[in-house]
């Protein structure tokens, strides 16, 4: 971020619109969930977009979060003893989180890019990814989610239906309402305008 100058004109307008999408109430809920999920050892960020970004920037909190959603012995991310201080190591830790989140089931369109977090380009996208991860954890209901289940919406789940052969045959005899009904009406006696006239 040190080598990036101020934005002007359209760049500033675009960045301003992106920053307005950041939800401070959602930030509070996400912080509560992360602390409930990972324990008090992860600490708490300073309030606001930049405080949230600094808290997550080195990737350690995110890695602990995704690891907490897996049973012991199958944690997807190796967390170093000391938090990484080198930029490329921090970005690598974030990339590992993104890979683990995708493996957990977060779809590509809900994922943020590493620079969105690392350079605070789009913290709303970071929130979107965390909300998607929380929703999946609540939906899976496998005992690894900690916190209030009402913090996230459950994802829709498949509800397969099985029909017997006789039920399928019965369905072929029913005329669906999509087919419509003319209730005995016909076009008899209808005329459209005057008949064609041939003038010689």
Question: 175 lies in a domain?
Answer: no
- In-domain check, residue 93: yes
Q: Are 123 and 117 in contact (CB under 8 A)?
A: yes
Whole-number average pLDDT of the chain: 81
Tens digit of each residue's pLDDT (9 = 90 or more) over 10-39 = 666 666 666 667 778 888 899 998 999 888
Question: Is 114 among the domain residues?
Answer: yes
Model pLDDT for residues 140-153, shown as the tens digit of each residue = 878 788 887 878 87
For residue 157, pLDDT beyond 80: no
- Give how many domains the chain has, as a whole number: 1
**Which range among 14-18, 103-107, 124-128 shows the weakest confidence by mean pLDDT?**
14-18
Residue 130 lies in a domain: yes
In a domain, 183, yes or no: no
Please check the confidence at residue 71 and state whether its pLDDT lies above 80: yes
Residue 88 domain-assigned? yes
Query: If you write DSSP's letter for every residue of 145-184 in order, what string do you get?
Result: --S-GGGSPPPP--------HHHHHHHHHSPPGGG---TT
pLDDT at 6: 63
Domain membership flag for residue 165: no
Query: pLDDT at position 95, please?
Result: 92
Domain of residue 90, CATH code: 1.10.418.10
Q: How far apart are CA 133 and CA 137, in angstroms?
A: 6
């Amino acid at each position: 971020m040190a080598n990036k100058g101020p934005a002007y004109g359209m760049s500033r307008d675009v960045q301003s619109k992106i920053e307005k999408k950041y939800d401070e109430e959602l930030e509070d809920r996400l912080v509560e969930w992360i602390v409930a999920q990972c324990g008090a050892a992860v600490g708490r960020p300073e309030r606001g977009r930049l405080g949230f970004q600094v808290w997550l920037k080195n990737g350690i909190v995110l890695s602990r979060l995704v690891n907490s959603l897996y049973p012991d012995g199958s944690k997807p991310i190796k967390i170093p003893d000391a938090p990484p201080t080198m930029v490329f190591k921090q970005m690598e830790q974030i990339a590992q989180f993104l890979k683990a989140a995708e493996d957990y089931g977060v779809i590509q369109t809900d994922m943020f890019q590493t620079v969105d977090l690392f350079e605070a380009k789009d913290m709303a996208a970071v929130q979107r990814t965390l909300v998607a991860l929380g929703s999946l954890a609540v939906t899976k209901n496998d005992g690894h989610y900690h916190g209030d289940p009402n913090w996230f919406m459950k994802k829709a789940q498949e509800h397969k239906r099985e029909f017997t052969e006789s039920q399928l045959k019965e369905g072929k005899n029913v005329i669906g309402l999509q087919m419509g009904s003319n209730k005995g009406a016909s076009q008899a006696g209808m005329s459209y305008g005057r008949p064609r006239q041939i003038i010689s």
